Amino acid sequence: MEKWPRAKSKLTPDRRPWKVTFMGEIHNLLERHGLHEARRQASLDGQLSRICVDAAHEVLSDEALQIGITHSGFAMAALPHKKTEETVWEREGGGIKLLIESGLNDDKTPVGIPYGSMARMILLYLQTQAVKTQSREVELGSSMNAWLKVMGITVGGKTYNSVRDQAKRISQCRLTFFRVHNGAKMVSNGAFVRDAIFPIQEDENQPSFWREVVRLDESFYESLIDHPLPLREVAIRQISGKSKAIDTYIWLAYRLHILKEPVSISWHAFKGQFGPEYARMRDFKRDITGPLKLALSVYPEAHVDVDMEKGLILYPSPPPVPERRILGR
């Protein structure tokens, strides 16, 4: 379960938009006064503000501009954030509906639906490498371990079981995408990968890591090549352990750069996509505020106003990855 520190922001009681007064100030403060002063001022507002300042600093100071890739469909329909006993996971948004069916063990018991930040990071690696190499075959082994380490995840110790569990769930689940194209309902069936990411059998006293190569499912790969969404790798690194922040960042990266004019998103609509499981709106607002602030921190080009009464206003904004960088990848 992800734990988020509560901000001590003075803006919460009077419900003013905090993108303009808080998020915009973070990037301006860093650019004008540097990290030390920004941290000092942020510390007055609580731990969440300090985390946002550090994340924003890493993105603003990054010069490598390394790119990560995800399927744009995940901007509208994402994996669960925590473990679920359901064997079919359903998410819908923006004209896209995603069904994920759990795979089965050899004794016919469900493997389970992939969930949380670890599943998202494994999938981000697979998708990024597939698009960069224009190949269904993705190298694992030392390459994936090195990438996860750069993302702040060391495969070993406490994380090994988590990585293995999510890799197994990803390897064995089935996908169905529903979307409407030119008035017709389109259905795409498939999976994430054709092969198990880990060997099925392993010596308990000498556990194996990844296979050397894994093949993406042909249908998923072709759809990914047709609908890639470029992301900043440094931004993903700052939010790698926060699944809600990852989903929010992907959603913003997808929505903002295609807008022609400002768009209002009510809290009801926002909850419908990011928290339909919440019974009470106030609980959803409480839990999404931290991920939303962190996602905006690592996307300095984003122009978003947030009103705690009305909802969000999205403004046309540059994409997180400049187009010239995408063409030159």
Q: What is the pLDDT of residue 310?
A: 93
Q: Are residues 219 and 259 in the same domain?
A: no
Burial of 143 (0-12, 13-18, 19+ CB in 10 A): middle
Q: Are residues 39 and 158 in the same domain?
A: no
Q: 190 lies in which domain range?
A: 68-229
In the listed set 229, 254, 270, which residue is the last one of a domain according to the structure? 229
Q: Are residues 92 and 188 in the same domain?
A: yes
Q: Is the pLDDT of residue 98 over 70?
A: yes
Q: Are residues 206 and 285 in the same domain?
A: no
Q: Looking at residues 140-162, what average pLDDT do you find?
A: 82
Q: Looking at residues 76-89, what average pLDDT do you find?
A: 93
How many domains, in total, are found in the chain?
2
What is the SS3 string spanning the chain? CCCCCCCCCCHHHHCCCHHHHHHHHHHHHHHHHHHHHHHHHHHCCCHHHHHHHHHHHHHHHCCCCCEEEEEHHHHCCCCCCCCCCCCEEEEEECCEEEEEECCECCCCCECCCCCHHHHHHHHHHHHHHHHHHCCCEEECHHHHHHHHHHCCCCCCCHHHHHHHHHHHHHHHCEEEEEEEECCEEEEEEECCECCCCCCCCCECCECCCCCCEEEECHHHHHHHHHCEEEEEHHHHHHCCCCHHHHHHHHHHHHHHHHCCCCEEEEHHHHHHHHCCCCCCHHHHHHHHHHHHHHHHHCCCCCCEEEECCCEEEECCCCCCCCHHHHHCC
Inside any domain, residue 205: yes
Q: Are residues 191 and 323 in the same domain?
A: no
Virtual torsion, Cα 142, 143, 148, 149, nearest 10 deg: 60
Distance CA 249, CA 227 (A): 17
Q: How many residues does the chain have?
A: 329
Q: Which of 164-168, 203-207, 281-285 has the highest mean pLDDT?
A: 281-285
Distance CA 223, CA 114 (A): 20
Q: Are residues 48 and 88 in the same domain?
A: no
Token pair recorded at residue 91: 């998410």
Q: Are residues 215 and 262 in the same domain?
A: no
Inside any domain, residue 177: yes
Q: Looking at residues 322-327, what average pLDDT do you find?
A: 62
Inside any domain, residue 234: no
Percent share of the chain, pLDDT over 70: 87
Q: Are residues 177 and 277 in the same domain?
A: no
Distance CA 119, CA 166 (A): 5
Q: Is the pLDDT of residue 71 over 90?
A: yes
User: Quick one: pLDDT band at residue 199, thresholds 50, 70, 90?
Assistant: low
Q: Which residue has the tokens 């359903």?
A: 90
In the listed set 203, 229, 255, which residue is the last one of a domain according to the structure? 229
Q: Are residues 153 and 48 in the same domain?
A: no
| 234-290 per-position pLDDT tens digit | 999 999 999 999 999 999 999 999 999 999 999 999 999 899 899 999 999 999 999
Q: What is the pLDDT of residue 322?
A: 84
Q: Are residues 105 and 184 in the same domain?
A: yes
Q: What is the pLDDT of residue 2?
A: 66
Burial of 135 (0-12, 13-18, 19+ CB in 10 A): middle
Q: Are residues 119 and 41 in the same domain?
A: no
In the listed set 170, 205, 229, which residue is the last one of a domain according to the structure? 229
Q: Is the pLDDT of residue 13 over 50?
A: no
User: Quick one: pLDDT band at residue 209, thresholds 50, 70, 90?
Assistant: low
Inside any domain, residue 6: no
Q: Are residues 84 and 19 in the same domain?
A: no
Inside any domain, residue 316: yes
Inside any domain, residue 147: yes
Amino acid code (one letter) for 155: V
| 50-65 per-position pLDDT tens digit | 889 899 999 999 988 8
| 293-308 per-position pLDDT tens digit | 999 999 999 999 999 9
CA of residue 321 relative to chain centroid, distance: 15
Inside any domain, residue 236: no
Inside any domain, residue 210: yes
Distance CA 168, CA 163 (A): 9
| pTM of the predicted model over 0.75 | yes
Q: What's the mean pLDDT when you consider all of the chain?
A: 85
Q: Looking at residues 21-30, what average pLDDT do you find?
A: 68
- The two most distant CA atoms of the chain are separated, in Å, by 61
